[in-house]
Every structure is written in C-alpha cells, then in structure tokens.
Structure 1
Amino acid sequence: MQALEWIDWTVLIITLLTIVGYGTYQTRGSQNVKDYLKGGNTSKWWTIGLSVMATQASAITFLSTPGQAFNDGMGFVQFYFGLPIAMIVICMVFIPLYHRLKVYTAYEFLENRFDLKTRTLTAILFLIQRGLAAGITIFAPAIILSVVLGWDLLSLNIIIGILVIIYTVSGGTRAVNVTQKHQMVVIFIGMLVAFFIIVSKLPPDITFRKALDIAGASGKMEVLDFSFDLNNRYTFWSGIIGGTFLMLSYFGTDQSQVQRYLSGKSVKEMQLGLIFNGLLKVPMQFFILLVGVMVFVFYQFNEAPINFNPTATELVQNSEYAEDFKVLQKEQQQIFNDKQTLIQSYLNTETKNGAAYIALANEASDDLRTEAKLLIDKAADNQNIKIESNDKDYVFIHFILNNLPRGLIGLLLAVILSAAMSSTSSELNALGSTTTIDLYKRNTSEKTETEMVKASKWFTLAWGIIAIGVACVANLAENLIQLVNIIGSIFYGNVLGIFLLAFFFKFVKGNAVFIAALITQAVVIGLFLLNEYEYINLPFLWLNFVGCVIVISIACILQVFNRKENEYRA
C-alpha cells in the first residue's frame, strides 16, 4: 500500500477544512427555528435535488457500490428501479400536504391526523433506525483512513465523528443544503476521472467494448433478472415492488430527506428537485457500479491481493497460519497466469467455451478468497483481535491508493470523505430536528426561538455522540451499503404504512394505528431474524412491502372491529 504524498494530503486537508469552515460560516444569523431547521425556505430546485442525492449518496455509496459490482456485477442497480415511481407519488401526495400544513417534520402531520402517541411512536422509530444508520456512515470513512494511515478504527471513528459534529451543529439546514450542492459537483468530477483512468490503464489492445465482453464472460454485466426466485436478493421485481416501498418510505417519511425538500421556496421547487433526483439517481448508481466492473476487469490483467484489507493480510501473515496463507497466494497466482491465456483466447475467438473457462477461473479465485477469509478469522480469534476479513468495501480504496496518479488520490479520498460528511450531517441535522420538534417542543412549555435553536444544537450533539458509539461497535457485515438498507427495511415499511393510512384510509383512527404499528414492528423484526437464521426465505427488500401491508391490514381490521363493537354497545 503506497503512502500518501504531500500533494494528496494538501488536497484532502483543504477539502475537509473547507467543509467545516463553510458550514460554520453559513450559520451566521440563524437565530430562529425556521432559518436553522428549514433554511429559511430559500432553496432552489437544483439545490434540493443535489442535496437529496448527496444525503443518500454517502461514503458507503462510493466505497461499497464498486465493491458490490466487483463481486456480484451490475444486478444491484435493480434495487433503484422503484425510485422514479416513488418520486412521482411523493410529488403528487406528500409534498403538497407537507407544504399546506407548514410542518417542520413529517411526523407533525400524524398528530393532526391521528393523535400524539402515534406521532411520537413514528418519530421514535425514525430516530432508532436513522441513529443506527448515522453510525454506519461515520464508520465507512473510518475504513478509508484506517487503510491510509494505519490507525485503528476506534480512534478514527471518534475523530471523524467529532469533525462531523462540529460542522453539523454549526451549520443548520441551509449550510447542509448549500454545501452538499458543491460536494456533489466534486463527487461527479472525481468519479468520472476515476472511470477514465481505469479504462486507460487496461492493456492497449483491450478496448472498452472488449472490457465489457470480459466482464460479461464472468456474469458481471447481467443487469436484469426477471425471476421470482427469492434466493436472488436483487431482481427486477424486488426493485420495482420492494424498492418502490423502500424509496417511498425513505424520501417521503424519513426526516433526513424530508428536511432537504421542506427547505424549498415553493411546492414547484420541491417537486422539481425530487424529479431531478429521480431522473439522475438511477444512471448515477449504474455508472458507479460500472466503475466497479471496470475495476474487476483491471484486476483480470493485474494481480489482485487475495484479500484487499492490508491490515487483515498482515495479521494472518504474522500468525501460525502464515504458511497456509502463502499456499493460497501461490494458487491464486497460478490461476491468474492461466487466466491470461484464457482471456486472450476468448478475445480472439469469442466462443462460449472460452467465456465459460474464464468464469470457472474466476470462481476458483473466489473460492480461494473465501478460504483466505477463514484463515484471517482464525488468526484474529486466536489473537483475540477484531479484524474485518470481509474485504468488499476495501476493493475500490485499494485500487485508488495503488493505481491513481498523485494528487488524484487526494481528490478521490476527498470525494469519499465529502460524501460521508454531507450524508452524516443531514442525518444528524434530521435527528436533532425530530427530537426537538416532535419530542422536546411537544412535551414542554412554550420556548423562545433562541431556546429552540439551542435545544436543536444540543440534541444534534447528543445524536452525534450516539452515532460515534454505534460506529465504534459496527461491523462490515456482508456489505456496508446492504447493512444500511437492511436497517432501513426493518423500520421503513411500518412507517410508510402509517403514512398511507393517514393519507388514504380516512375511517381509521389513532388507537387502531398505534396498536397495529406496535404489532407490525414486532412481526417484521421476527421475520428478519427468522430469515437470518434461515428458517424462512424472505430477502430484506421485501420487508418494506410486507411491513406496509401488515400495518395497513391490522389497523383496518382493528378499526372495523372497534366500530362494530361500539355499534353493538349502542
């Protein structure tokens, strides 16, 4: 792993200091709640669209998505197929209602429609899932710097968390929105530059078309899966159905996103911002996945480490399993050498047999990587050390640090860290706002504008500390981007169902919804655990749809039963 040079550090440090400084600068004059929590309702549609996109596109997107494509191909893009549908529904239903009621949070509406306990429960469900997710978005950039600097993850979680807290507590919604607009420009430029450099580093006779052929030979270009097999986590149907419900929940009821477009100047600006996001988000995710696929092709011609986490590799090399690890490395090198002949033969003849042989070689390499992970886990257990053997999220950062020109390495690190800070700042901003408006203000005596702003800053600070705590105990699980979506799927379906009941089921009252929501959350958590222990087969994306249907069904049944009981008593 190459060390950073002065030009990389210069680019990286200037970017971080600019983000923190700009956020602090933008707080001047934010002495009332409307300015601090809604940015004074001054945001234009392009600021809203880029801010919404930046909130979702955290460091996890730029770390995990290329690694996801490297391992599993382009199929993950199907996860986002429900996004445009969700944007249309939110523009038609959610935004006009929120604007008419002049709410600060999405959950204020629920008290008007149902009652205080339903509003409070829904706000608490949001706080739990988004508090956990905020910890993961702090943990993601800590992975980067742990590789670059060789520092331990615990210290880095604390350092990064403190930086984000300073920026977020100082900034308020206006600073978050405006800063994110500039960050997304840097992100787009950085990823485009990275893509063209990857392609340029392929052998001279390997055109972009041939690179796609090589990726396709190993199944990396299979974008669409129309099967109904629940064993396939990402299919067209899970994206359209489960993805639509997840996106409706996330963009329509999650305060970290709702707060972004509530800052708009008008309903039209809010709607245009979300439509802009809906049109651009799927192509952006497709492109980021394609970057990961090109990294895969790059490592078909350049030897890849058997594990992309250098800390994990160093651990096992200094353990009793060192010789076993060396054997796996030699086997991998032999597979790599054999694969060069297979690839050239395939490119010359383009036969199906050639494609099959390349796929088999890559499968054999994947098997060796799995064996290497097991050795790393054994070495870590014997030394009582916590180490991440799962290296999906290290793939892209490994490529950046070892193959990009000096200066550009600093730019790409700045891109990923900018995404991390912008996403985390949105989450902490929303957590502080929800706690202030839905819990603190609603359950205390009347407060002045200054007191409310101070309370929001203190609550934001508290959530920042909680997020750091979550980051310190976080685990990479299978993949960071999947972990965040799993956390959301456990809660989002239930929350979306509550809002749909409020919008479209006028006969349902607060008590029925409150009881139904409690039952549904317990059922969804139970279904998730049953799936984890393989008692049932229900991919996490479907939890959004299942949770929504369950809470609506139970609430309607309870309301009908209660109505009949009242009629009987009368």
Structure 2
Amino acid sequence: MAIATISPLDWLVIGFYLFGLISFSLYLSRKQHSRADYYVGGRSIGAWPIAISTMATQCSTNSILGAPAFVAFSAGGGLIWLQYELAVPLAMLAIMIFLLPVFRAMNLVSVYEYLERRFDLKTRLVLSGLFQFLRAFATSVTIYSIALVVELITGTTFLISVLILGAITLVYDVFGGVKGVVYSDVLQMGILVVVLLMLFVILVGELGGLTGIFNGIPQERLQTLDFSHHGLGDGETFAFWPMLIGGFFLYVSYYGCDQSQVQRELCAANIHESKKSLFLNGLLRFPLVLLYCLIGVGLGSYAASHPEFIQQLPAEGGTPNYNVAVPLYMLQVLPMGLVGLALVALFAAAMSSLDSVINSLSASTMEDFVRRLSSNAWSDETELWISRVVTLCWGSLAVVFSFYVGDIADSVLVAINKIGSLINGPVLGVFVLGVFTRRCNGLGAVCGLCLGFVTNVLCWLYLPNVSWLWWNVIGLIVCMLGGYLISIFAGCRQQRGEPFTVQLDWLNWRGRYGILVLYTLGIVGVLALL
C-alpha cells in the first residue's frame, strides 16, 4: 500500500527523466570505439565530473533515507553520525600521494592489474574475484532494499519497482559506458541537491528558523563529537578515535583500492586532473552529508510538534519504518510536479550507486579474466561489444539475484558496513605490501589477506565490544605483518617493477595538501560548534 497517491503529472516528470537518461546513453554510445572509451572514457573526463560522480555513488538512497532517520529517530542516534566525515579529506590526501601516482604511471584500466605486475597473476585474480563477489552481492541487496522503498512510496508492485531501477540503470550503463555513468551522476547529484535544499528551506520556514529546528529535538541528539570513549572494548562504536583512525583506513581502502572508485580516477587526462578530482571530493562531501543530517534534525523537530506524522509512517512489526520519513514529508509538503522531481531525486540516488558498480564489475571481469586469460586477439570494435555484453550480464544477474535476498536483506543492510570493514583493511594491506616493500611476494600477500580477514571475523565473534571501525586497522596490520613474514619464510622472493618513490609533487600541490589538513581541522571545529 502506497503512503500517498502519485499524480499523473509526477509520473510524467519521472518518465521524462528516465527517457532522457536512456537517450543520452545512446548518444554517448556513438562516440565509443574501444574498451578504453567504454571503461575509462578515453581518459578525457574532467576533474569536476569525476569528483561529483564519486560523491554521487556514496550518496545512495540508503544514505538519503537512512541518515536522517538515524539522526532523528534511531536509538542512540543523532548528529554523531557526522563523525564519519572526519577522515575523508585525510584519506584523499593519502591516496593522492601514495597510491594514485603508481596507478596512473601504469596506465591501468583495472586496479588489480597492478597486483600482477608487482606480485603474480594469482594475486590479481584473487583480489579481483573477491571484489566481484562482494560488489555483486551488495548490489543485489541494494536493488532489493531500494525497490521496497519505491514500492511503498508509489504503490507499484515489487517487480515493477525492480524494473524501473534495475532495467533503466542497466540500459544506460550498457550503452553509455563510464561516460554515461559519470555524466548521469552529475545530473542526478544536481537534482538531488536541489530537492534536499528545498526540503531544508521548507523545514526551516515551518519550524520558525534554525533556532526552532535545534530547540525542537532532544539535546542529546545534537552531540557531534565523542572524545570520552575509544571503542576498544567499551562498546561505543561511534566514538571519535575509531571514526577518525578506523575511518581513515576504511576510506583509503575504498577510494584507493576498490575498482568501483579507482576506475573513475583513471578516467582523467593526467595525474593532476585525477588528484584534483580527489581533492574536490574531499572538500565537497562534508557539506552534502551535513545537509541531509540537518534535514534529519528538522524531521525530528517536526515529528515532535506533529505526533500524527509518526503515526502516518508504515509499520513493520509494530515499529514505524523511519526510513520512509523523508519521502513521506516530501509527498506532504511539495506540490504536484515537484513531488515527481523529489521522487526523481530518490531514483537518482539509487541509480548513481548502481551504475558505477555494474560498470566496474564489467571492467574488472573484462580486464582481469576475459582479456587476461584469453589467447584471442580481438579488434577494438569486438572488445567494445564484448564489454557491453559483460555489463549486461552483470546487471542482469544483480537484478535477478535481488528477488532472492529478501530473507537476509534486513540483517545484511544493518551489517553492511561491518561486512565491508571485515575486508577493507586486508585489501589495503595487500596494496601497501606491494607499494612499500621489496621482499613480499604473491604467496605472502594472499596469505596476509586471509589472515587479516580471519582475524576480523574472530573480532566480530569474540570481541563484540570492539568498534567494527577498528577492524579496518586490525586487518591492515595483521595482513602486513603476516604477509611479510610468510614471504620471508617462504624463501621465494618476487619483486616486480621498480621500487616505489613517493610522488609528493610538492611545488604544485603543497597548498592543496595543506588545505585538506586544515579542512579536517575545520570540520572538527564545525562539529564542536553545532
């Protein structure tokens, strides 16, 4: 049952938007002549579109709906969520200095190709296969969870909801390639920001200004910094230090070692544009997250003065589904036409998360398995069409699997960040061993990866009071120590490529490096003032 009736005008707005996406992707397909055009856009995409696209992938529907619900309604929730953003600028800085120069110098399409050049083919295939398994599973769960929200909002069936999200995303992904992903993300981010700003302005006006918003919510939900806990056994997950230190390694691993993120960094014309995209992402992400968290504060205040609002939320097991609070408020306060635009914003947040993952799954499959293990010499045109077929296969599998994750989706969605933290540290450890050590070999790297993962699983099972954010640090350390020692004891030294030299590029980038450090301190200052 839908929470409101969607007018024909709103459906027309949604249909026009979806038709425009498909038409744009077909236009871009005419300019593709090789797999390089398809996967890295001919390395000609500007820094601003790459930065906005990367940010759009992070700003998923789960974030747009879940973060305000956490701030406004969840037990133990509030603006403490903003501590997630402390490590982002520092992570961008580390990637710009230590990882990006290596990947750009090798002219990669798949980031896992580096591991073969440094270690061996086995290491490349293990990391690429692991990425594909985890991302395909997470994508299916994402489609399922978002389709449920669309079904609830619009009153369409689950099948139609999946087709709207999955099939449309798949069509423009298959034909548009990475340029279709990036430029559609830019459009979708623009729509999303406009809608979020409209909602915030409406909330501010309805509740009597910013003072009314902050006075209408319990004061404990306005706490933004927690220096009194450490997360190492005190049961406090979202304390300052685990979110800063653990979050730093989480983001370095995700933005620097995950194909879905690194692929876009490789689309720029040169390393300076790639660095600029990371720099911009480090600056732009916090204001966006702050915006939708402040909407959460506004919704909490609105619900306190309008008790009937909570009663209008659909119940699950007798408990209101707070994740629908944002779309419910949209439907109540926006006029016809703008409701359609608001729903387009929710679709946009979903699609911007799905399109990049499907394209990166295709890229890693094509580069690490199909081309690497095939003895055939294909023309550029043949490789392009094979790339599109691989994209179609991955997208179709994700859509099909989304119908079979219903029994586990709720628990997985709650634990999805934990699951990522089980492997983020070990994956980063493999790349660090490759970049900074001479004696580590492929056997040691893979064994270190396994040791780090098993250690984190044991922490989950037997150390429940340790914040899962620390797993990113623990897994990294165990992977590096275990991998290095095993490489020494195995006695089969393997070194590939030239030893890595840190590319500070100090003269051109020292100002922007300093800005990222100061920006982090500025975020802490902003959080202290809220």
TM-score range, shorter chain: 0.7 to 0.9
* Closer, same or farther: CA 551–70 of 1 in aligned 2, 3 Å: same
CA contact (8 A) 1:43 1:265 kept: yes
How many pairs does the alignment contain? 482
Partner of 2:448: 516
Whether the aligned pair in 2 keeps the contact of 1:106 and 1:254 (CA below 8 Å) is yes
Question: Contact conserved, 1:432 with 1:456, CA < 8 A, in 2?
Answer: yes
Look up the SS of the partner of 2:445 in the other structure.
helix
Render the CA deviation track for 1:382-438: whole Å, top value 9, x for unaligned. Answer: xxxxxxx67232221222222323222211111110121122110000000001101
Taking a change above 3 Å as real, the CA distance of residues 159 and 26 of structure 1, as seen in their structure-2 partners, is same
Contact kept, 8 Å, 2:38 with 2:178, in 1: the verdict is yes
1:68 touches 1:479 (CA, 8 Å); kept in 2?
no
Post-superposition Cα deviations, 1:33-78, rounded to whole Å, max 9, x if no partner, equal 1101110111111111111111221222212121121221111111
User: Structure 2 CA distance, aligned partners of 1:134 and 1:562?
Assistant: 38
- Counterpart position of 2:271: 267
Query: 5+ unaligned residues in a row in structure 2: which ranges?
Result: 494-530
2:514 aligned partner: none
Residues 129 and 491, structure 1, Cα contact 8 Å, conserved in 2: no
For the residues of structure 2 that align with 1:304 and 1:139, how far apart are their CA atoms? Answer: 29
Instruction: Name the counterpart of 1:221.
Output: 222
Distance 2:305 2:7 in 1: 27
Relative distance call for 1:25 and 1:137 in structure 2 (3 A) is farther
C-alpha displacement at 1:85, in angstroms? 0.7
Q: Is the 8 A contact 1:50 1:277 kept in 2?
A: yes
The alignment's TM-score, normalised by the length of structure 2, stands at: 0.86
Query: 1:180 — aligned with what?
Result: 185
- Once residues 178 and 564 of structure 1 are traced to their aligned partners in structure 2, the CA distance between those partners, rounded to angstroms, is 47
SS in 1 for 2:222: coil
The alignment status of 1:199 with 2:204, answered yes or no, reads yes
> Is residue 410 of structure 2 the alignment partner of residue 477 of structure 1?
yes
Distance 2:391 2:474 in 1: 32
Q: Which residue of 1 aligns with 2:521?
A: none
Asked whether the 8 Å contact 2:303–2:310 carries over to 1, the reply is: no
Q: Distance in 2 between matches of 1:492 and 1:562?
A: 25
Matched, 1:503 2:435: yes
Q: Decide which moves more: 389-398 or 222-231.
A: 389-398
Q: 1:236 to 1:432 in 2, by over 3 A?
A: same
Contact 2:440 2:483 in 1 (8 A): yes
Matching residue of 1:457: 388
Aligned equivalent of 2:420:
488
Alpha-carbon spacing, 1:14–1:141, altered in 2? closer, same or farther (3 Å)? farther
The higher radius of gyration belongs to 1
Please show how residues 141-152 of structure 1 align to structure 2 within 5 Å.
141-152=146-157
Tell me, yes or no, if structure 1 residue 536 matches structure 2 residue 464. Answer: yes
Aligned twin of 2:110: 105
Q: Identity across aligned pairs (percent)?
A: 29
1:550 aligns with 478
**Which secondary structure state, in structure 2, belongs to the residue aligned with residue 26 of structure 1?**
helix
C-alpha contact 2:32 2:38 (8 A) present in aligned 1? yes
TM-score, with normalisation over the residues of structure 1? 0.80
Matched-pair contact (CA < 8 Å) for 1:40–1:174? no
SS at match of 2:444: helix
Contact map agreement 1:494 1:521 (CA 8 A) in 2 = yes
Structure 1 portions without partners, runs of 5+: 314-372, 377-388, 566-570
CA distance in 2 between partners of 1:151 and 1:200 (Å): 33
| Cα displacement (A) at 1:155 | 4.7
Give the corresponding residue for 1:412.
342
Q: Report the secondary structure of 2:478's partner residue.
A: helix
CA distance in 2, matches of 1:285, 1:139: 24
1:328 is matched with none
- CA–CA distance in structure 2, aligned partners of residues 447 and 161 of structure 1: 33
Give me the whole-angstrom Cα distance separating, in 2, the residues matched to 1:142 and 1:447: 41
Q: CA deviation at 1:131?
A: 1.2
Equivalent position amino acid for 1:146 in 2? E
Q: Distance in 2 between matches of 1:478 and 1:404?
A: 33
Name the amino acid aligned to 1:47: P
1:440 to 365, 370, 374: 370
Secondary structure of the 1:220 match is helix
Structure 2: which amino acid aligns with 1:38? Answer: V
Q: CA deviation at 1:494?
A: 1.4
Given that residues 144 and 397 in structure 1 are in contact (C-alpha distance below 8 angstroms), is that contact kept between their aligned partners in structure 2?
no
Other structure's SS at 2:29 match: coil
Distance 1:468 1:487 in 2: 21
CA distance in 1, matches of 2:412, 2:147: 15
1:477 aligned partner, one-letter code:
D
Q: Is the 8 A contact 1:392 1:479 kept in 2?
A: no
Separation in 2, partners of 1:63, 1:210: 22
Aligned to 1:385: none
In 1: Cα distance, 2:330 partner to 2:101 partner: 44
Cα RMSD after superposing both structures: 2.2
Work out the CA distance in 1 between the residues paired with 2:175 and 2:290: 35
Counterparts in 2 of 1:564 and 1:182: CA distance versus 1, 3 Å: closer
Distance 1:407 1:155, change over 3 A: closer
Alpha-carbon separation, structure 2, partners of 1:73 and 1:121: 39
Q: In the alignment, is the contact (CA less than 8 A) between 1:90 and 1:248 conserved in 2?
A: yes
Aligned to 2:324: 394
Report SS of the residue matched to 2:195. Answer: helix
- Aligned mates of 1:128, 1:390 — CA distance in 2: 33
